[in-house]
Structure 1
Amino acid sequence: MRIAFEFARGAETRSAAIENPTVPVSAENFLSFFGIQSGNLTAVTIDSALTVPAVSAAVTFLSSSLANLPLHAYRAAKNSGERVGGSLQRILNEAPNDEWSSFGWRKYFWTQVFTGGRGVSWIERAGNTVLGIWPMDPASTVISMVNGRRIYTFSGAKQYPASDVIDVPFLLKRDQLSSYSPIVMGAKAIQLAIAMNDYGSNFFAGGGVPPLSLSGPLPQGKEAMGRAMADINRAIDAAKQSEKPIFPMPPGHELKQVGFDPAKGQMVEARLFQIQEIARVYNIPPVFLQDLSRGTFANVEQQDLHLIKHLIAQWAKAFEDELNLKLFGAANNRRYVEHSLDGLMRGDFLGRMQALAMGVQNGLLMPDEGRALDNRPADPTGNGARLYMQGAMAPLGTNTYGKDAANGGPNDGQD
């Protein structure tokens, strides 16, 4: 192959060569042979990112876990909070409107937070009464500042003040209006995971045969070269179909591998590392993305604690504060909403029963309170509305025979 360059009056001319002059011999064109365009990975979108199992696992796990937490309304009492019922409790924990369940609304809300970077919902009111909560598509919502106040414009028409919109960003930007998306922040890691998925699927779709180059005496001319390549391709296809590892080659010719062997390129190790990288984006322990490569009994339990203390609890707090501010106003000091993180124990029956038993035996919970957490009826004898201590399990303020000390008993004053 011969290429000559002449520069005259700023123009470049090329002499005739065997290659097609319209196809440049460049790194980009060479990489395109392996399915990589321009040496750059494809842009990441929410839809393409969710095709990566680690990303979809992180999004569905976090959104479902947060939506699964019981969410109750309370009224501040003298020394504690009193749970209240009514329409607000129904809106928060059962159905925010006549089209959505509470779980469905909150899962959609958190899915938007962990994909596009923001969850928004509109509060429908009649005066000071909350009638319902409606999810909004963040992609159709424009947030702007008007006279120092945030305004939410939905679908280019409806405008809502910030006081009527529940808004939780993944990470707020400096302008206090836009937010960072976890998928954009982890785009490079997600790009690499997509590229490895594509390479692996293409490799095995081709029967595990990597790109090959044919060396040896080759025919001259475009048509003759095309026929030779077609013959080789037919020979490879025939070997695949016959399930025989050997096929004949013309004398003096040799097939050589072009590209990397997935094993030598540490494909398995690299894909495992991408799971850990995506876990870092969401601050989620890798074990919850089904990565148990370095899991032990001790550290898996610690990762479970990390999930509650440093991830679920933080997002639950962000949602609670936003609800309290938007539902009741900044001046409110009597009503509030709160998640019950005990809901995460519902799947661990043994652990839940042991925790309730410890609470009752140590005077932290009344039996009726423990039963109510499992939606069980109260003790019909009325003894469940008292505190007990471990030991004889006698109600506080009674002697060992179960009679009130104040009213007298067989051992009154001795116990």
Structure 2
Amino acid sequence: MMGWRDWFGLETRGSVENPAIPVSSENFLAFFGVQSGNLPNVTIDSALAVPAVSAAVTFLSSSLANLPLHVYRANNEGSERAGGPLQRILNEAPNSEWTSFGLRKYLWTQVFTGGRGMAWVERAGNQVVGIWPINPSNVTVKLENGKRIYTLDDKKTYAAADIIDIPFLLKRDQLSSYSPIVMGAKAIQLALAMNDYGSNFFAGGGVPPLSLSGPLPQGAEAMKRAMGDINRAIEAAKASDKPIFPMPPGHELKQVGFDPAKGQMVEARLFQIQEIARIYNIPPVFLQDLSRGTFANVEQQDLHLIKHLIAQWAKAFEDELNLKLFGAARNKRYVEHSMDGLMRGDFASRMNGHAQAIQNALRTPNEARALENLPPKENGDNLYVQGATVPLGSNVDDAAGSEGDVDDTGN
């Protein structure tokens, strides 16, 4: 059965997940004479030339890569940090060539551009000895006997248990994924077009496209000469910083199209920042858009970022690591990010938070000092609570007196 593309004779392109293939190549409107094909093609590289896209990708990938990542071991009293080679691999150096920050930033960059980040878990027997990044565009994912198989460069095949795989959004087949660049191609295409128009407009000295009206010379060559004369006159006026240039008698120049101000270019470019922020679900303030920012809503956007974006992606990475490093059973070990770094706040807020946690027996003084990168102190591992807290309904004077009767010396 013929599809609508066959009826119109339109070309079918290959996979849009390949960064080298434009994701805006469809030109349906061209059949009806609308030349939307003149708009710039959107690839991963061209999309990153849009400042808002570049800011979103670098901000998210750097923020997630900067989170401390620790290994914990569960015990009867709760959980405790575990050291050893795996802690070094996850939080310091995953292999002999990459730092932990560098590998994780590369992985998240692939997630927020091509739509998928991958890494290979190197093992010696059952022990993890390294984690290596993989270029997702060189990987084919398929099912064999109901199990997911990853093939790199059509040569090496890996089981799913050896591949850390973070998709931006899985497709219905559960094998391929959507790319945020592809999903937001139209918005990015418009941002590129406005960039090009603005740069061309100001590169031309702020002169919009013009049409020459009046008695026109006959013949193609004569027309070219007349147009050349007018162009040279305009260029000479711009070079001399004078807004006056000669015109042939009976001729007039008329503006064609709109200049950026009349086309509301500034407003449109601000709207494109908000559109790109929606693609990544990131508050616009983190793309340096403070056009509607106030002290109150910027603070709320900061909370939105951590609760509804960073925490979700951190959870996705933690679950993938726990499954691939420890298996479904986990053996009481697990990996978890520390979100304290993102929620430190200003100095006064941090100190107030530490004081309340210590006074209410939520943290020991040494635990609070560790969050500020300060060394532990003697007797700093004890829990403390405010002495004025008494049971409801008790006599405050009696409670205070009983607290004071510590020993016979009155101490």
Q: Which band: TM-score by shorter chain?
A: 0.7 to 0.9
Post-superposition shift, 1:306? 0.4
Asked if structure 2 preserves the Cα contact closer than 8 Å seen for 1:203 and 1:210, the reply is: yes
Question: How far apart are the structure 2 equivalents of 1:348 and 1:100?
Answer: 32
Give the aligned partner of residue 389 of structure 1: 385
Using a 3 Å threshold, how does the CA distance of structure 1 residues 238 and 409 change in structure 2: closer, same or farther? Answer: farther
Asked if structure 2 preserves the Cα contact closer than 8 Å seen for 1:345 and 1:351, the reply is: no
Give the aligned partner of residue 20 of structure 1: none
Using a 3 Å threshold, how does the CA distance of structure 1 residues 258 and 102 change in structure 2: closer, same or farther? Answer: same
The CA RMSD measured in Å over matched residues stands at 2.3
Post-superposition shift, 1:111? 0.3
Task: Provide Cα deviations, 1:309-333, integer angstroms capped at 9, x if missing partner.
Answer: 0000000000000000000000124
The one-letter amino acid paired with 1:322 is E
1:224-263 equivalences in 2 (<5 Å): 224-263=222-261
Post-superposition shift, 1:141? 0.9
Q: 1:209 and 2:185 equivalent?
A: no
**For 2:330, what is the secondary structure of its paired residue?**
coil
Post-superposition shift, 1:371? 1.4
Asked if structure 2 preserves the Cα contact closer than 8 Å seen for 1:403 and 1:409, the reply is: no
Using a 3 Å threshold, how does the CA distance of structure 1 residues 234 and 285 change in structure 2: closer, same or farther? Answer: same
The one-letter amino acid paired with 2:384 is Y
Post-superposition shift, 1:363? 1.3
The one-letter amino acid paired with 1:309 is K
Asked if structure 1 preserves the Cα contact closer than 8 Å seen for 2:404 and 2:410, the reply is: no
Task: Provide Cα deviations, 1:163-216, integer angstroms capped at 9, x if missing partner.
Answer: 011111000011000000000000000000000000000111111111111101
Post-superposition shift, 1:41? 2.6
Q: Which among 342, 348, 372 is matched to residue 340 of structure 2?
A: 342
Q: Which among 92, 95, 99 is matched to residue 94 of structure 1?
A: 92
Q: 1:298 and 2:315 equivalent?
A: no
The one-letter amino acid paired with 1:170 is F
**For 1:315, what is the secondary structure of its paired residue?**
helix
User: TM-score, normalised to structure 1's length?
Assistant: 0.85
Question: How far apart are the structure 1 equivalents of 2:404 and 2:122?
Answer: 54
Q: 1:220 and 2:218 equivalent?
A: yes
Post-superposition shift, 1:157? 1.3
Unaligned runs of 5+ in 2: 1-28, 390-399
Question: How far apart are the structure 2 equivalents of 1:311 and 1:241?
Answer: 52
Asked if structure 2 preserves the Cα contact closer than 8 Å seen for 1:151 and 1:162, the reply is: yes
Give the aligned partner of residue 147 of structure 1: 145
The one-letter amino acid paired with 1:243 is D
The one-letter amino acid paired with 1:337 is V
**For 1:341, what is the secondary structure of its paired residue?**
coil
Question: How far apart are the structure 2 equivalents of 1:106 and 1:74?
Answer: 19
Q: 1:312 and 2:310 equivalent?
A: yes
**For 2:233, what is the secondary structure of its paired residue?**
helix
**For 1:292, what is the secondary structure of its paired residue?**
coil
Post-superposition shift, 1:221? 1.5
The one-letter amino acid paired with 2:112 is F
Task: Provide Cα deviations, 1:53-83, integer angstroms capped at 9, x if missing partner.
Answer: 0000000000000001000000002232100
**For 1:378, what is the secondary structure of its paired residue?**
coil
Unaligned runs of 5+ in 1: 1-26, 394-398
1:9-158 equivalences in 2 (<5 Å): 39-158=37-156
Question: How far apart are the structure 2 equivalents of 1:38 and 1:187?
Answer: 14
Question: How far apart are the structure 2 equivalents of 1:167 and 1:409?
Answer: 67
**For 1:284, what is the secondary structure of its paired residue?**
coil
Q: Which among 178, 181, 199 is matched to residue 180 of structure 1?
A: 178
Using a 3 Å threshold, how does the CA distance of structure 1 residues 410 and 313 change in structure 2: closer, same or farther? Answer: farther
* Structure of greater Rg: 1
Asked if structure 2 preserves the Cα contact closer than 8 Å seen for 1:91 and 1:102, the reply is: yes
**For 1:387, what is the secondary structure of its paired residue?**
coil
Asked if structure 2 preserves the Cα contact closer than 8 Å seen for 1:171 and 1:180, the reply is: yes
